[in-house]
Structure 1
Amino acid sequence: TSIKGSHPVPWTPEGDAAFVECKEELRKATILAYPDTTLPWAIFTDASEYAIGAVLQQRRGQHWEPLAFFSQKLQPALRKHCPYDRELHAIYAALRKFRYIFEARHITIFTDHKPLLHAFSQDPDRATPWQFHRLDFISQFTTDIQHIAGKDNIVADALSRIEEISMAVSSNELAQAQAEDEELQQRIQREQHDSLNLRPVNIPGCNKQIYCDVSTDIIRPYVPTALRKKIFDALHSISHPGARASAKLLTQRYVWPSINRDCRLWARTCLACQRNKVSRHVLSPIQNFPSRTRRFEHIHVDIIGPYIPSKGYRYCLTIIDRFTRFPEAFPIDSIDAECVARTLFAGWICRYGVPLQITTDQGTQFKSQLFSALARLLGSKPYKYHHFPSAVEWNGGTSSPSLEGCHSLPRKQLMGRHATHRSPWNSCRLEGRSWRNSCRSRLWRANSFTR
Structure 2
Amino acid sequence: MPLVHALTRQKDAWSPGQRRHLSAIAEFNCTLTHLPDMKNPVADALSRIEINAVQLGLDYNQLAKEQQQDPETTAVRTAITALQWKDVPLGDSNISILCDVSTGRPRPWIPSSLRRHVFNLIHGFSHPSRRATTRLLTQKFIWHKISRDAGNWVRSCVPCQKSKVHRHTETRPRSLPPTTKAFCSYSRGCCGTPSSFRRTSLPVHHYRSLHQMARNHPHGQRNIYFMRLLPVVRLDLQIRHS
TM-score norm. by structure 1 comes to: 0.28
Change (3 A) 1:444 1:255: same
- In structure 2, the partner of 1:228 is 115
Structure 2 counterparts to residues 436-451 of structure 1, below 5 A = 444=206
2:151 paired residue number: 264
Query: Could you say what secondary structure the match of 1:245 adopts?
Result: helix
Partner of 1:276: 163
* Residue correspondence of structure 1 range 39-438 to structure 2 within 5 A: 163-167=53-57, 169-188=58-77, 191-204=78-91, 207-287=94-174
Instruction: Please report how far the alpha carbon of residue 229 of structure 1 lies from its aligned counterpart in structure 2 after TM superposition.
Output: 1.1
Q: Distance in 2 between matches of 1:182 and 1:446?
A: 95
User: Could you tell me how far apart the structure 1 residues matched to 2:208 and 2:144 are?
Assistant: 73
- 2: CA distance between counterparts of 1:246 and 1:323? 64
Runs of 4+ in 1 over 3 A off after TM superposition: 73-76, 287-295, 322-326, 443-447
Residue identity in the other structure for 2:81: D
Residue aligned with 1:216, SS: coil
Structure 1 position 284, deviation (Å)? 2.5
Q: How far apart are 1:222 and its partner, in Å? A: 0.5
Task: Please tell me whether the aligned partners of residues 293 and 323 of structure 1 are also in contact (alpha carbons under 8 angstroms).
Answer: no
- Contact 1:172/1:207 (<8 A) preserved: no
Long gaps (5+) in structure 1: 1-72, 77-161, 296-321, 327-442
Deviation of 1:233 (Å): 1.2
What is the deviation of 1:292?
A: 8.8
User: What's 1:5 paired with?
Assistant: none
- Give the Å deviation of 1:225: 0.8
Which one has a larger percent strand, Structure 1 or Structure 2? 1
Instruction: Give the Å deviation of 1:285.
Output: 3.3
In structure 1, what residue type is equivalent to 2:115? R
**CA–CA distance in 1 between the matches of 2:162 and 2:102?**
39
CA drift of 1:261 comes to 1.8
The answer to whether the Cα contact below 8 Å between 1:171 and 1:206 also exists between their aligned partners in 2 is no
Q: Which residue identity is paired with 2:64?
A: A
Which residue of 2 is the match for residue 344 of structure 1? none
C-alpha distance in structure 2 between counterparts of 1:248 and 1:271, whole Å:
21
Name the CA shift for 1:280/1:206 in 2 (closer, same or farther; >3 Å). Answer: farther
Q: Identity of paired residues, percent? A: 32
| One-letter amino acid of the structure 1 residue matched with residue 118 of structure 2 | I
Give the superposition deviation at 1:205: 6.7
Tell whether the 8 Å contact from 2:55 to 2:121 is kept in structure 1 after alignment.
no
Larger radius of gyration: 2
CA distance in 2, matches of 1:324, 1:203: 90
CA distance in 1, matches of 2:135, 2:98: 21
1:249 to partner: Cα distance: 0.9
CA distance in 2, matches of 1:202, 1:261: 30
SS in structure 1 at match of 2:53? helix
Q: Distance in 2 between matches of 1:325 and 1:198?
A: 88
SS of the aligned residue for 1:252 comes to helix
Q: Which residue of 2 aligns with 1:114?
A: none
Distance 1:75 1:222, change over 3 A: closer
When the two chains are superposed, the root-mean-square deviation of aligned CA atoms in Å is 3.7
Q: What amino acid is aligned across from residue 217 of structure 1 in structure 2?
A: G
Q: Any unmatched runs of 5+ in structure 2?
A: 1-46, 188-204, 210-233, 235-242
Query: Normalising by structure 2, what TM-score?
Result: 0.50
The secondary structure found in structure 1 opposite 2:87 is: strand
Note closer, same or farther for the CA distance 1:193–1:243 as it changes in structure 2 (3 Å cut): same
Cα pair 2:83 2:100 within 8 Å, conserved:
yes
Letter in 2 for 1:257: H
